[in-house]
Chains A and B, each alone.
Chain A
Amino acid sequence: MSRSPIRDLLVGVFVLSGLAALAYLSIELGGAAYSGPGGLTLYANFDEIGGLAKRSPVVIGGVKVGQVTGIELAKDGSFRARVKMDVDKNLKLPDDTQAAVLTQGVLGNQYVGLSPGGSDTFLAQGGEIAYTQSAVVIERLIGKVIQSLGGSSNSSGGGGSGDGGKAPSGGKGS
C-alpha cells in the first residue's frame, strides 16, 4: 500500500465534489418551499381536471404551498372530480378561496392555483373549497370553435360535435 497523502487528498476531493453535486441536484433543482406533508388537508370538486395528477403542485401566487394527494370520482353522484390536497398547515385560507386548475405555460403541467378570498372564517382541517374553476381542455376548446364556426344548423344546445363531456353547470364552471 503506497500511503501517498496525495491519493488521500484526491479521494477527499472526489467524495466532496460528488456530495456537492448531489446536494446541488437535491436542493437547488429538486427542492422547493414545500418539502413534506404540510398537514392541512383540503378538498375541492371540479368538473374537469384535465391532466392534473397526484403530486401536482398546489400554488398560491406562484409559490408552491402543497400538493395534490388524491383524485377520485365524487361520491355524491355528480360525476365531478374530487381532488384532495395537502398544504402547509400554517396557511390561513379564507373559506371563499377559489381553486382553479391551471397550466404552466401553454403546454406545461397542470397545477392547482389557489386565490384567497376575503372572508373572516378560515378553512379548517378537511375543509371544502366551494369555488372551483375547471381545467381548460384544448381539445374541447377546439371542438367548440369548430362547432361555432361550422354548425349554425346544429343549434341544439349542449351536446353536439366533438364535445364529449357535459356542458359546465352555471356559476362554478367555465
Chain B
Amino acid sequence: MFELVRDVGWRTIENVHGLGGITLFGSRLVYETLVPPYRLRRVIDELYNTGVLSLAIVCTSGLAVGLVLGLQGYNTLVRFGAEQSVGAVVGLSLVRELGPVLTALLVTGRAGSAVAAEIGAMVATEQLDGLRMMSVDPLDFVTQPKALALALAMPLLSALFIVFGLFGGYLVGVGLLGVDAGTYLSSLENNIDFRNDVLGSLLKSVVFGALVGLVATWRGYTSAPNSAGVSRATTGAVVQASVATLMFDYVITALWGVGV
C-alpha cells in the first residue's frame, strides 16, 4: 500500500520534472529559431524530409477520407431529403476537424517518429557531443531546423489533405451518387466561412505542427544513448504528440467557437 502511494508520488514528480524539461526545451527552441544563424539551408532540407516525403500519405489519406465522408454523408442526409448538402457536410467536417487532426496524426506517425529516431540515433552515436566539441550548439544546428520544418509543413499538408478530401467527396457525391456538381460546389462555398472555419483550421494545424515539432525533437534529444532508448523515444514521441494533438484540438475548438 505504502509502495503504491510512493509510486504515485514518484511518478508525479517525474512528470512535473518532465513538463518543466520540455517547457525549457521549447523556449530554447523558440529562442534559437528567432535568433541568427537561421540555417535556412537546413530548414529547407528538413522541409523536404517532413513535408515532401509526407505528401504521398497525406494526399492519399485525404482522398480516401473524402470518399468515405461523401458516402457516409450522402447515406445519412438522404434520409432527410437533404442530400444536396453533402458538399457542406464533407467540407465542414474536413475543414474544421478531420483536416487538421488527421493530418497531424499522420505526420506524427511518419515524420515525427523519423525525427525522434534520427535525433535519438545522433545522441547514441555521440554526434551531438561531436557538435558540442566543435562549439556548435546541437539544439540550434540539429533540432531547431527539424522542429521548425514540422511546424511549417503542417498547415500546408493540412490544406492539401482537405483539398484532396473535397475532391474525394466530389468523386463520390457527383460521380457516383448523382448529386449535381454545381449543387455540391455551391453547398461547399456557401457553408464554409473564412473566419469561423478556415482560419480556425489553419490555427489548429499550426499549433499541431508546433506540438509535433516540439515533442518529437525533445524525445529524441533526451533519449537514452542506446538502441533501446532510441526506440522508446520514437514510440513515446508518436504517442505523446498524438495525445497532445487530440487534447489541444478540443481546447482550440472550444475557444474558437465560443470566443468569437
Contacts and interface: CB of A to CB of B under 8 A. Distances in A.
Interface of A: 1, 3, 7-8, 10-11, 13-15, 17-19, 21-22, 24-26, 28-32, 35, 55, 104-105, 107-109
A104 B190 contact: yes
B156 interface: yes
B181 to A, nearest CB: 15
A130 B250 CA distance: 43
B189 A22 contact: no
A21 B162 contact: yes
Contact of A18 (B84, B157, B189, B192): B157
Interface stretch (B5-13, B44-52, B234-242): B44-52
A25 B47 contact: no
A21 B159 contact: yes
6 contacts: A8-B44, A18-B160, A21-B163, A22-B156, A55-B260, A104-B190
Contacts of A14: 47-48, 51-52, 55, 153, 156
A21 B197 CA distance: 15
Given A30-B193, A55-B196, A55-B260, A25 B162 contact: yes
A24 B194 contact: no
Contacts, number: 87
Interface string B133-176: 00000000000000000000101110110110000000000000
A18 B156 contact: yes
Interface residues of B, number: 38
Given A19-B156, A29-B95, 18 more contacts: A1-B42, A1-B45, A3-B41, A7-B48, A8-B44, A11-B51, A14-B55, A15-B47, A15-B51, A18-B156, A18-B157, A21-B156, A21-B160, A25-B159, A25-B192, A26-B198, A29-B192, A30-B197
A153 to B, nearest CB: 35
B211 interface: no
A31 B192 CA distance: 8
A77 B45 CA distance: 67
A10 B48 CA distance: 7
B202 interface: yes
A25 B156 contact: no
A15 B194 CA distance: 21
Given A21-B163, A22-B202, A35-B194, A29 B41 contact: no
A7 B48 CA distance: 7
Nearest to B43: A11
Which 8 A-B pairs have CB atoms at the shortest separation, nearest pair first? A18-B156, A30-B194, A21-B159, A30-B198, A22-B159, A29-B192, A21-B163, A10-B52
Given A30-B192, A107-B80, A11 B156 contact: no
Interface in B2-45: 41-42, 44-45
B44 A25 contact: no
B55 A28 contact: no
B188 interface: yes
A17 B162 CA distance: 12
A31 B198 CA distance: 10
Nearest to B44: A11
B156 A26 contact: no
B120 interface: no
A4 to B, nearest CB: 9
A17 B47 CA distance: 14
Nearest to A109: B191
The listed residue with most A CB atoms (<10 A of its CB), out of B155, B191, B193, is B193
A26 B95 CA distance: 10
Nearest to B163: A21
B91 interface: yes
Interface string B89-131: 0010001000000000000000000000000000000000000
